[in-house]
Amino acid sequence: MPLHTFKSGDGANSVERLVPRGTESIEIDGVTYLRDNSPQGFAMTGKAVGMPPQKEQVRDGYYKLECDKGSRFLDRSPYTAKQIKSAWEF
């Protein structure tokens, strides 16, 4: 069900309600509200966060491994720390 804005007959009051498609009017406490067809803006609170670039994701992954295993995290890797840094332009 979509969210629509409805205005009272005199336009003084408005309400927002989730209603089935095609609903043109609603009645609340004896007052009839007509659907407002003008475009409605909205805002979402919070923090919009995108994905960091792959380079930063890899850097964060290596940092987490180093924190978990100390300097031993490269023991199982066939690559040296210098090769990894060079590949990811650290």
Which strands make up the sheet holding 25-28, listed edge to edge? Answer: 14-18, 3-8, 31-35, 25-28
Is 70 exceeded by the pLDDT of residue 15? yes
Q: Does residue 78 lie in a domain region?
A: yes
Amino acid 73: pLDDT: 62
Q: What is the mean pLDDT of residues 43-68?
A: 78
**In-domain check, residue 46:** no
In a domain, 66, yes or no: yes
Q: What is the mean pLDDT of residues 53-72?
A: 78
For residue 22, the enclosing domain spans 3-35
In a domain, 43, yes or no: no
Closest by CA to 31, choosing from 2, 61, 6, is 6
| pTM, 2 dp | 0.44
**What tokens appear for 65 in the block?**
């491994």
Residue 45 inside a domain? The answer is: no
For 46-65, b where at least 16 C-beta lie within 10 A, e where not — what string?
eeeeeeeeeeeeebeebeee
Count of domains forming the chain: 2
Band (34; pLDDT cuts 50, 70, 90): very high
Average pLDDT for residues 21-49, to the nearest whole number? 82
Question: Mean pLDDT in the chain?
Answer: 80
